[in-house]
């Protein structure tokens, strides 16, 4: 190995170590504190215990917020996946006038509007529709915001499936709905999984919309409840916060691992346009 | 591609698209339009103007442009976008993708897993992790650096949320560049190597021209996302004072804390316009690229 | 009984592209019929219009006496094998073959039985539980055939059925396909751009270009008497030599400095013509004469049992197929004599139609 190559290699590993340290550092606390008998704000080697977990499982408030998160995420995910799959398929196979322009405009709008810019009218709209403090309201608002990107990503998947499958089934006499059920859904399953995971993750972590639209604490999801844990009432309960953080993070991490091992979390061609 | 392979027909296709479009129209397009209208009123959360908002035309916009608070907030937001997204996430993401490009071992999986973890953990959790990391009394960072008593979020609030956002969002750029790098045909890199090009020359002459489209798309998306990101609020509440009052936080405080809904909406509209300008600049660059190729 | 009749078939694509223009074509019951032409000639459009995947702008499609022009594909009782086979990747071989029966609501047990039986006929018994991705190209093709056979259609439509196979498999599959079609005796239309495939498989061939039928005939007719210069240069593993010349007295055609024998018939001396002769019908001769084409060998291509020589001379560029043992070398002079009964004369202008009436029978006109 020439000195130059050696230098390159050393440089490379140094850089990678720095990257590792930078990304690992904030996560350390999440790994240690939940199992520490006396958790502190600094990450330290824990005196191992599962008491914190046990305590959390007795905390009705915390568990209820997780259930709320599941409801919101599940509902939004189901709506987003179903509606975006139908729309993406139709848009991919039938030439509707102005399709591409419309799709781009919506994509742009969704990445701008979702969340903060439209919070005032979103609040008003929910109020007018009697959807304040309603989980359905949160689900609908979130779905509307996620759909354009979901359609865009899924259309990539449907565009990538050869039309000869569908034509072949059509020559055998399959109806459009049969084609969707028998062929399109199984063929774009990785895409559906990607959209599903992505939408669950988006909702799971979304703080603003439920914070804006839900009034009663019994309906608040974990994102909002977690925020109240560490901002209200003087001394934060570190044992509760850390254990709750872990429990709250676990589902998205597991889901992500499952999907990426099973289907590969991939970017399709359209992303590069 | 032959149109309509499944024989959907226009009517059925429209029925497939309709539910999604309805929801998008109702909960995305309509609120956006409503924002524009509200921005031209003196609508308030409470008081007389709550019942009967008066139409005030462009007064709100004029007020915003006159007030230092708006320009201050816009300036902070641009710092935040350029620092954390355009420079931070994009460069770090590319660097990681480049360093890992031909590796498949445990190291690659570990790095990718940690970077991704920062991206997929819920915002409330990562916000608290960073509060803990940067804590004045016994934060891990102070312990490591031997700087006890440094209140990072108070003394360097902008730097703190910029570094936080780099940590949080680099995963997307990393994955996108990894995909882009794998789309560069090995034969082209090998040709460059046979011609005696160094790593840096390969990067400049073969890789970058080929992934320019990816770079621009990536910058467009992360710029818009960062511009509209609300998570720093969980870290600093916009403070101390208004030192981290980036646009989303500024709108939130104006509209819902101060109850000035009309003014808040006008700020949102201005925010949308800035977003639009950003988007148009990138789309222009993309077009120029397509025209050139 | 399922003859196919296409009358006045016209297909316009959005944007004003006319793929087919008033096309007339008849396929007899049980016939193995090839649509042959270069890419973009409209052959696939014809196939897809018969299947119903494209709707004709004007004209009618009649299958077995029923006008199916406006019927959706599923109700035309045809089966199609796609170029990429379109085997559903998430289904096993059995499920793929049984799919048409599933659409027809045949009970599960029965359709699995019938699928297994059909697949068995094509030698796929061991592969029944495999997915398409685990099969070789030849096996995939047979699964696609089995799926087409499973619903006993009136017509088979094959889109480039052999083009996805490697060269050796292709020959095997060709023989297999021809035997299968003979046994089933189902009217079959197939599309190909490979003239050798069309000649080998088809009972009759329609040669197409630019959305028009240039000739319809048996393989022998199309090979021996191409109706125009397009067909002449498209059919045959080496294209026919087409040399500009002039008719002279004594039933000969002056090409360069050679006066070649030709079926001149009634054509007046002095008329410009194109003299067509296949490379296979030129014979080496040791000495130059009045009726020999003379030139210098510029390229020698070894074709195994024969050699293909390219000559440059007063007559222009001429290709000759000679036996393997001829000792040809680039740069050497060469003299060749055409077989008079294989020479054809074409109009030098217009569509380059055949001018002479040779005694070969047939020569069916398009749509006749």
Query: For residue B76, what are the contacts with CB-CB under 8 A and spacing of at least 6?
Result: B158, B243, B244, B245, B246
Beta strands at C4-13 and C58-63: parallel, antiparallel or unpaired: antiparallel
Q: What is the pLDDT, as a whole number, of residue C327?
A: 78
Are C216 and C268 in the same domain? no
Q: What percent of chain B has pLDDT over 70?
A: 95
Residues of A in contact with B95 (CB under 8 A): 15, 19
Q: How far apart are CA C2 and CA B56, in angstroms?
A: 77
Query: For residue C137, what are the contacts with CB-CB under 8 A and spacing of at least 6?
Result: C164, C165, C166, C169
Predicted confidence (pLDDT) per residue in C140-178, tens digit: 999 999 999 988 899 999 999 888 888 888 888 899 999
CA distances from B146 to A100, B138, B139, B153, C155 (A): 56, 11, 10, 17, 84
Q: Give pLDDT tens digits along chain B (293 positions).
A: 345 666 777 788 888 889 999 999 998 888 888 888 888 888 887 776 677 777 887 888 888 888 888 899 999 999 999 999 999 999 999 999 988 887 777 888 888 888 988 888 888 888 888 988 888 777 788 888 877 777 888 888 999 999 999 999 998 899 888 888 888 888 888 888 888 888 888 888 888 888 888 888 889 888 988 988 888 888 888 878 788 889 888 988 888 788 888 888 888 888 888 888 988 888 888 777 666 65
Q: How far does chain C reach from its first CA to its final CA, in angstroms? A: 20
CA distances from B65 to A252, B62, B266, B271, C163 (A): 42, 5, 11, 12, 68
Distance (Å) from the alpha carbon of B104 to chain A's nearest alpha carbon: 14
Look up tokens 């004369």; give the residue: C345
Burial class (CB in 10 A: 0-12, 13-18, 19+), C110: exposed
Predicted confidence (pLDDT) per residue in C322-350, tens digit: 988 877 888 888 999 999 888 999 999 88
Say if the Cβ atoms of A174 and C103 lie within 8 Å: yes
Query: For residue C55, what are the contacts with CB-CB under 8 A and spacing of at least 6?
Result: C49, C70
Distance (Å) from the alpha carbon of A191 to chain B's nearest alpha carbon: 16
Burial class (CB in 10 A: 0-12, 13-18, 19+), B174: buried
- Torsion sign across C-alpha atoms A134, A139, A140, A145: positive
Instruction: Identify any residues that bridge with A146 across adjacent strands, giving them in sequence order.
Output: none
ipTM of the complex: 0.81
Domain finish residue from C224, C252, C274? C224
Distance (Å) from the alpha carbon of B45 to chain A's nearest alpha carbon: 10
Q: What is the pLDDT, as a whole number, of residue A42?
A: 66
CA distances from C71 to B5, C150, C152, C206 (A): 16, 21, 19, 25
Q: How far apart are CA B230 and CA B110, in angstroms?
A: 29
- Torsion sign across C-alpha atoms C193, C197, C202, C207: positive
Tell me which fold the domain A52-262 belongs to: MetI-like fold (1.10.3720)
> Which of B145, B138, B124, B155 is closest to B239 using CA atoms?
B155
Domain finish residue from C180, C201, C224? C224
Tell me if the bond preceding A67 is cis, omega within 30° of 0.
no
Are C118 and C26 in the same domain? yes
Residues of A in contact with C88 (CB under 8 A): 165, 169, 182-183, 186
Q: Give the domain ranges of chain A.
A: 3-49, 52-262
Query: For residue B201, what are the contacts with CB-CB under 8 A and spacing of at least 6?
Result: B192
Q: Give pLDDT tens digits along chain A (273 positions).
A: 677 778 888 888 898 899 998 998 888 888 887 777 767 666 666 667 777 777 777 777 888 899 999 999 999 999 999 999 999 988 888 877 777 778 878 877 777 665 666 777 888 888 888 888 889 999 999 999 899 989 988 888 888 888 889 999 999 988 888 888 899 899 888 888 888 888 888 898 888 889 888 888 888 898 888 877 766 555 667 778 888 888 888 888 888 788 777 765 554 333 333
Q: What is the side-by-side order of every strand in the sheet holding C258-261?
A: C258-261, C252-255, C241-248, C272-277, C344-346
Say if the Cβ atoms of B7 and C48 lie within 8 Å: no
> Which of A13, A26, A270, A51 is closest to A160 using CA atoms?
A270
> Which of C341, C343, C321 is closest to C275 using CA atoms?
C343
Q: How far apart are CA C302 and CA A255, in angstroms?
A: 62
Q: How far apart are CA A229 and CA B95, in angstroms?
A: 37
Instruction: Name residues 137-196 of chain A within 8 A of B (Cβ).
Output: 140-141, 143-145, 147-148, 151, 163-164, 166-167, 169-170, 176, 179-180, 184
CA distances from C151 to A74, B243, C68, C79, C118 (A): 42, 74, 18, 8, 10
Within 13 Å of residue B72, how many CA atoms lie on the same side as its CB? 14
Nearest to C151 among A162, A164, A172 (CB): A172
Nearest to A120 among B16, B144, B261 (CB): B261
Range of the domain at C158: 4-224
Nearest to A172 among C74, C84, C157 (CB): C74
Q: How far apart are CA C54 and CA C51, in angstroms?
A: 8
Q: How far apart are CA C78 and CA C89, in angstroms?
A: 22
What's the 3-state SS for A181-221? HHHHHHHCHHHHHHHHHHHHHHHHHCCHHHHHHCCCHHHCC
Distance (Å) from the alpha carbon of B28 to chain C's nearest alpha carbon: 34
In a domain, C113, yes or no: yes
Query: For residue A11, what are the contacts with CB-CB under 8 A and spacing of at least 6?
Result: none
The CATH code of the domain that includes C24 is 3.40.50.300
Domain B69-292 has CATH 3.90.110.10: no
Q: How far apart are CA B125 and CA B144, in angstroms?
A: 22
Please report which residue ranges of C212-365 form alpha helices under DSSP H: 219-224, 229-234
Are C219 and C235 in the same domain? no
In a domain, C84, yes or no: yes
Are C189 and C207 in the same domain? yes
Distance (Å) from the alpha carbon of C113 to chain A's nearest alpha carbon: 19
Nearest residue on chain C to B8, alpha-carbon basis: C72
In a domain, C360, yes or no: no
| B245: Cα separation from own chain's centroid | 16
List the chains bordering chain A where 3 or more Cβ pairs fall under 8 Å: B, C
Are B133 and B140 within 8 A, CB to CB? yes
The CATH code of the domain that includes C264 is 2.40.50.140
Residues of B in contact with A167 (CB under 8 A): 2, 5
Say if the Cβ atoms of C86 and A173 lie within 8 Å: no
Q: How far apart are CA B231 and CA A206, in angstroms?
A: 9
Q: How far apart are CA B249 and CA B233, in angstroms?
A: 6
> Which of C362, C260, C247 is closest to C313 using CA atoms?
C260
Q: What are phi and psi of A268, to 5 degrees?
A: -100, 175
The pTM of the full predicted model, rounded to 2 decimals, is: 0.78
Locate C72 and state its tokens. Answer: 């959706």
Q: How far apart are CA C285 and CA C322, in angstroms?
A: 11
Q: What is the mean pLDDT of residues C197-212?
A: 93
Say if the Cβ atoms of C73 and B2 lie within 8 Å: no
| B236: Cα separation from own chain's centroid | 18
In a domain, C174, yes or no: yes
In a domain, C354, yes or no: no
Are C239 and C137 in the same domain? no
Which of B12, B14, B19, B28 would you mutate first to test chain A, the one with the most A CBs within 10 A? Answer: B28
Locate A204 and state its tokens. Answer: 């799971």
Predicted confidence (pLDDT) per residue in C231-289, tens digit: 999 999 888 999 999 999 888 899 988 899 888 888 888 889 999 999 999 998 888 88
Locate C218 and state its tokens. Answer: 């048996």
Distance (Å) from the alpha carbon of B11 to chain C's nearest alpha carbon: 16
Are B16 and A90 within 8 A, CB to CB? yes
Residues of A in contact with B85 (CB under 8 A): none
Domain finish residue from C174, C192, C224? C224
Are C8 and C52 in the same domain? yes
Are C211 and C279 in the same domain? no
Are C121 and C263 in the same domain? no
Residues recorded for chain B: 293
> Which of B181, B206, B182, B213 is closest to B192 using CA atoms?
B206
CA distances from A148 to A42, A100, A145, B2, B152 (A): 41, 12, 7, 25, 38
pLDDT band for position C367 (cuts 50, 70, 90): very low
Q: DSSP label at A33?
A: G
């Amino acid at each position: 190995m020439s000195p130059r190559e050696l230098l390159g290699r050393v440089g490379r590993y140094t850089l990678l170590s720095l990257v590792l340290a930078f990304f690992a550092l904030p996560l350390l606390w999440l790994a240690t504190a939940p199992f520490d008998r006396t958790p502190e704000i600094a990450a330290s080697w824990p005196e191992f215990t599962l008491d914190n977990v046990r305590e959390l499982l007795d905390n009705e408030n915390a568990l209820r917020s997780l259930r709320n998160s599941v409801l919101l995420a599940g509902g939004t995910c189901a709506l987003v996946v179903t509606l975006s799959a139908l729309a993406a398929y139709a848009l991919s196979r039938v030439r509707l006038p102005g399709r591409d322009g419309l799709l781009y405009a919506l994509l742009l709008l969704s990445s701008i509007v979702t969340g903060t810019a439209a919070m005032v009218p979103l609040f008003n709209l929910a109020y007018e529709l009697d959807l304040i403090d309603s989980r359905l309201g949160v689900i609908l608002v979130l779905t509307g915001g996620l759909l354009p990107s979901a359609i865009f990503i899924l259309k990539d998947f449907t565009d990538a499936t050869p039309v000869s499958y569908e034509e072949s089934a059509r020559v055998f006499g399959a109806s459009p709905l049969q084609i969707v059920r028998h062929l399109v859904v199984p063929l774009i399953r990785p895409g559906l999984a990607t959209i599903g995971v992505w939408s669950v993750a988006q909702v799971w972590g979304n703080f603003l919309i439920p914070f804006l639209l839900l009034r009663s604490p019994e309906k608040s999801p974990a994102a909002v409840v977690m925020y109240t844990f560490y901002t209200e009432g003087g001394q934060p309960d570190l044992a509760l916060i850390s254990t709750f953080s872990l429990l709250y993070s676990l589902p998205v991490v597991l889901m992500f691992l499952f999907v990426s091992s099973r289907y590969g979390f991939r970017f399709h061609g359209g992303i590069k346009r | 591609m032959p149109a309509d392979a499944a024989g959907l027909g226009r009517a059925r296709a429209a029925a497939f698209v309709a539910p999604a479009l309805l929801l998008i129209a109702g909960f995305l397009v309509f609120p956006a339009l409503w924002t524009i209208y509200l921005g031209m009123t003196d609508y308030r959360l409470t008081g007389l103007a709550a019942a009967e908002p008066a139409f005030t035309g462009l007064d709100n916009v004029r007020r915003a442009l006159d007030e230092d608070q708006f320009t201050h907030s816009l300036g902070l937001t641009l710092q935040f976008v350029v620092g954390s997204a355009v420079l931070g996430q994009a460069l770090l993401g590319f660097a990681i993708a480049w360093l890992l490009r031909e590796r498949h071992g445990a190291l690659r999986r570990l790095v990718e897993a940690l970077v991704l973890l920062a991206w997929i953990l819920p915002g409330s959790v990562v916000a608290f992790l960073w509060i803990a990391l940067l804590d004045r009394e016994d934060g891990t960072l102070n312990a490591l650096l031997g700087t006890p008593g440094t209140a990072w979020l108070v003394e360097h609030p902008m730097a703190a949320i910029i570094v936080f956002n780099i940590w949080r969002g680099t995963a997307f750029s990393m994955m996108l560049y990894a995909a882009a790098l794998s789309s560069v045909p090995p034969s082209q890199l090998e040709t460059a190597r046979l011609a005696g090009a160094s790593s840096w020359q390969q990067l400049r002459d073969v890789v970058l021209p080929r992934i320019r489209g990816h770079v621009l798309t990536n910058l467009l998306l992360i710029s818009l996302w960062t511009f509209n990101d609300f998570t720093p609020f969980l870290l600093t509440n916009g403070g101390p004072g208004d030192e981290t009052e980036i646009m989303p936080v500024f709108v939130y405080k104006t509209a819902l804390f101060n109850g000035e809904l009309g003014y808040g909406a006008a700020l949102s509209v201005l925010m949308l316009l800035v977003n639009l300008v950003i988007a148009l600049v990138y789309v222009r660059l993309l077009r120029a690229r397509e025209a050139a190729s | 009984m399922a003859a196919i009749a296409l009358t006045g078939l016209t297909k316009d694509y959005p944007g004003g592209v006319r793929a087919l223009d008033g096309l007339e074509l008849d396929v007899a019951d049980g016939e193995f019929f090839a649509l042959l032409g270069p890419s973009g000639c409209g052959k696939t459009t014809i196939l897809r219009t018969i299947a119903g995947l494209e709707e004709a702008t004007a004209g009618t499609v009649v299958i077995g006496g029923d006008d199916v022009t406006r019927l959706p594909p599923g109700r035309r009782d045809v089966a199609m094998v796609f170029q990429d086979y379109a085997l559903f990747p998430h289904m096993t071989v059995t499920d793929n073959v049984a799919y048409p029966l599933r659409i027809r609501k045949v009970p599960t047990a029965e359709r699995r039985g019938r699928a297994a039986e059909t697949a068995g006929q094509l030698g796929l018994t061991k592969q029944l539980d495999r997915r398409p991705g685990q099969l070789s190209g030849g096996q995939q093709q047979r699964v696609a055939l089995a799926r087409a056979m499973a619903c006993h259609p009136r017509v088979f439509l094959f889109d480039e059925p052999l083009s996805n196979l490697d060269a050796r498999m292709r020959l095997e599959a060709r023989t297999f396909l021809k035997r299968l079609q003979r046994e089933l005796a189902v009217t079959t239309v197939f599309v190909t751009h490979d003239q050798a495939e069309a000649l080998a498989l088809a009972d009759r061939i329609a040669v197409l270009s630019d959305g028009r039928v240039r000739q319809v005939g048996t393989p022998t007719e199309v090979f021996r008497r191409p109706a125009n210069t397009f067909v002449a240069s498209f059919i045959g593993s080496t294209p026919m030599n087409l040399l500009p010349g002039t008719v002279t007295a004594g039933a000969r055609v002056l090409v360069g400095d050679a006066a070649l024998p030709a079926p001149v018939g009634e054509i007046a001396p002095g008329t410009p013509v194109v003299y067509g002769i296949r490379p296979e019908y030129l014979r080496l001769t040791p000495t130059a004469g009045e009726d020999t084409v003379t030139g210098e060998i510029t390229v020698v291509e070894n074709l195994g049992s024969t050699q293909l020589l390219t000559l440059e001379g007063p007559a222009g560029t001429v290709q000759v197929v000679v036996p393997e043992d001829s000792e040809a070398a680039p740069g050497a002079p060469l003299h060749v004599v055409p077989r008079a009964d294989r020479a054809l004369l074409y109009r030098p202008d217009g569509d380059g139609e055949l001018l002479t009436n040779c005694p070969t029978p047939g020569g069916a006109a398009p749509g006749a």
